[in-house]
Structure formats: structure tokens, C-alpha cells
């Protein structure tokens, strides 16, 4: 059995992660951490886990967590995550980080987009990006994996086959993204209160969303193409899900079936990617680790449509994919 710990176990992604790991035949959850006072039982924080996991949340130093665990999932916020992870990596424990702390390649870009100095800058550029569909061969040997963001996963997976094939222009890509309220996390915020977001849709972080450099960087790493993506997210009054409508200018003439065949060939060995003929919908992937995509061609544009569950394929599900690859299990274990 692999002993597992979860840092920052109070949020939505931590809940989904626990539910998946409870189905995993080779996992024992040994440690849950939080800064909440009183060491509450996990069922008091996540009532869905009543009778399923008998652990209390605790505030323990990273050395203590590392000593109890073979693998740690960090669901902590940016900067706070790296501060603890860098200490745990002094041991043999393996870590999957949900924050953005190790996704970007250099400290200057991180500081520009996240507004703080990086706690562990020397490790940047050396950490495997945890998107198995693109970096599967690098993940098994990694001690630390940077779990991707939800918008980034959806955008990158949608674009990678066509950039790799060289059939879309690299400097004219528009990502119009819609995401559910759970993507903003569980901590109360004015914009995600029910009276503020219900029966309304709004764009946010226009032209300055933190996922923009991550999308550009990983697409360059995966396809060797210098891209400039114009990324605009929108908050939609639904619990979960992401739908990206991506506009790209094609190179050459191809029918829609040709585009779909290219994507199917690219993802032939990826069990969670579904290249479909019909239009994808967030309900079709809700609660699952699937990524659905299709393509339409109209008025000189390729229109790529893709959707994921932001809490599963966009966070906890892909984290377990990474965990499985790191520990020699079938990639789909506990996810189908």
C-alpha cells in the first residue's frame, strides 16, 4: 500500500481527491492537514465522507508529514505550497503539487503573474508538468510533479494535436473559456456569492489571467511552437465544468473529418481523451476524468470545442493519473 497525505484538505479539489483515492486498491490515506483550529474530523469539513474515512485534520510540519507518507498531494495555495514542498523533498517522499508554484519555467515570469517572489526558484524549469497525454514518459521517474491548471489542461489538450501537425497559425489563437463557480475555490469571495453570480455570466481577468503564460509555455514545450494565445475566462453560474471555444486560423484546406482524424491519431494512446463528432457539453464529463473535444470549420477558421470537469480532469483526476504513473499502476486505476 502507498501511504498518502494531503496538504490543505478542506477545499473542493481535496474532497474530490479523497473520494477517488478511497476507491484506489493500493492507497492508504494517512494524513490530512489544515490550519483550521481544533483538529476537526474530516467528516465535519466534508460531510460526504461520513463513515468513509476516520481521520482528523491537523497542522503538522512538513517533516512529520513526509515521515508518514510515501506520496503527498499538496492542495495549498500558490507560494504556500512551495514553501512546504521544498522541505519535504529533502526526504524520499514524492509530491504532486496542485498549485502553480512549479508550473512556470522561471522565477521572473512567476513573480510577474503571481505578484510574489518564488520560495524555491532553483527548482523551476526542472519539474515535470503533470499532463500525462503530453508528458507521460517523464512522469514515472519524477519526485515532484506540477499538476496543471483546469483551464490550461482544457486549452492545451485542445490545441496540441494541431500545433504539432503544423496546421494552425501560432500567433492568432483565441481561447474563449467558460468555467463553473467551484473553480474559484471554497473560500468565500464576493464575486462567487449566490446573489452575485446566479443568473449572470461575466468575464474576468481579461488580458491578464495567470493561466496565459502557462498555456503558451506548455504548448511550446509539447509542440515546439511559439504561440501567443489570447485567453479570456468567464464565470458561469454552475457548480463545475469548463467549456473552451477556441478559434484558430488553419494552414491549408481540410474538412472537419480530417481535423478529427488528426486529433484521434494524436490521442490514440490516451484513455481519457474522447474525440467526438457531436458538440461537447459539460454535463457529459461531469464527475469524470474525461476530456471531450471536437472541431468545426467555418469562414476561414477552425473552431475547436473542448470540455472537462474542472475538479476532476482539471485537478484531482489528473493528479491521480500522475500518481498511478509515478507508482507503476495502470493509468486508469480508480478513475473509471
Active site residues: 150
Give CA–CA dist 167/181, Å, rounded. Answer: 34
Neighbours of 205 (CB within 10 A): 12
The residue among 95, 63, 90, 91 whose CA lies nearest residue 76 is: 95
Residue 329: phi and psi, rounded to 5, are -90, 160
Strand locations in the chain (E): 2-7, 27-33, 57-58, 71-74, 94-97, 128-129, 144-146, 168-179, 202-203, 229-235, 242-250, 273-275, 291-298, 301-308
Give the dihedral of Cα atoms 217, 152, 7, 329; nearest 10 deg.
-90
Cell 503573474 locates to 113
Burial 267-304 (b: 16+ CB within 10 A, else e): beebbbbbbeeeebebebbbebbbbbbbbeeeeebbbb
Please give the grid coordinates belonging to residue 123.
527548482
For the chain, what is the radius of gyration of the CA atoms?
19
Give the strand pairing for 2-7 and 27-33.
parallel
User: What's the per-residue H, E or C state across 166-221?
Assistant: CCEEEEEEEEEEEECHHHHCCCCCHHHCHHHHCCCCEECCCCCCCHHHHHHHHHHH
Q: Return the C-alpha torsion angle 57, 62, 67, 68, nearest 10.
A: 20
Alpha carbons 167 and 251: distance in angstroms, whole number: 5
Amino acid at each position: 500500500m502507498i501511504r498518502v497525505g494531503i496538504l490543505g484538505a478542506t477545499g473542493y479539489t481535496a474532497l474530490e481527491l479523497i473520494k477517488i483515492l478511497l476507491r484506489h486498491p493500493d492507497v492508504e490515506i494517512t494524513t490530512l492537514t489544515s490550519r483550521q483550529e481544533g483538529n476537526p474530523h474530516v467528516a465535519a469539513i466534508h460531510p460526504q465522507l461520513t463513515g468513509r474515512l476516520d481521520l482528523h485534520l491537523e497542522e503538522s510540519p512538513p517533516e512529520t508529514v513526509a515521515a508518514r507518507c510515501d506520496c503527498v498531494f499538496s492542495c495549498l495555495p500558490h507560494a504556500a505550497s512551495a514553501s512546504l514542498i521544498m522541505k519535504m523533498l529533502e526526504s524520499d517522499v514524492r509530491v504532486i503539487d496542485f498549485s502553480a508554484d512549479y508550473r512556470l519555467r522561471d522565477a521572473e515570469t512567476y513573480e510577474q503573474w503571481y505578484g510574489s517572489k518564488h520560495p524555491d526558484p532553483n527548482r523551476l524549469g526542472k519539474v515535470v508538468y503533470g499532463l500525462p497525454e503530453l508528458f507521460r514518459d517523464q512522469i514515472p521517474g519524477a519526485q515532484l510533479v506540477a499538476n496543471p491548471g483546469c483551464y490550461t489542461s482544457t486549452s492545451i489538450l485542445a490545441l496540441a494535436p494541431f500545433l504539432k501537425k503544423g496546421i494552425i497559425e501560432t500567433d492568432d489563437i483565441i481561447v474563449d473559456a467558460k468555467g463553473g463557480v467551484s473553480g474559484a475555490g471554497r473560500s468565500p469571495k464576493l464575486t462567487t456569492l449566490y446573489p452575485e453570480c446566479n443568473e449572470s455570466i461575466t468575464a474576468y481577468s481579461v488580458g491578464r489571467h495567470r493561466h496565459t503564460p502557462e498555456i503558451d509555455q506548455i504548448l511550446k514545450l509539447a509542440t515546439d511552437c511559439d504561440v501567443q494565445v489570447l485567453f479570456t475566462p468567464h464565470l458561469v453560474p454552475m457548480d463545475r465544468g469548463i467549456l473552451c471555444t477556441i478559434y484558430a486560423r488553419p494552414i491549408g484546406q481540410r474538412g472537419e473529418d480530417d481535423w478529427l482524424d488528426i486529433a484521434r491519431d494524436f490521442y490514440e494512446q490516451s484513455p481519457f481523451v474522447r474525440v467526438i463528432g457531436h458538440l461537447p457539453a459539460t454535463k457529459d464529463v461531469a464527475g469524470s476524468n474525461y476530456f471531450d473535444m471536437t472541431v468545426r470549420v467555418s469562414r476561414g477558421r477552425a473552431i475547436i470545442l473542448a470540455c472537462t470537469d474542472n475538479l476532476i480532469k482539471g485537478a484531482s483526476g489528473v493528479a491521480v493519473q500522475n500518481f498511478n504513473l509515478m507508482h507503476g499502476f495502470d493509468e486508469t486505476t480508480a478513475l473509471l
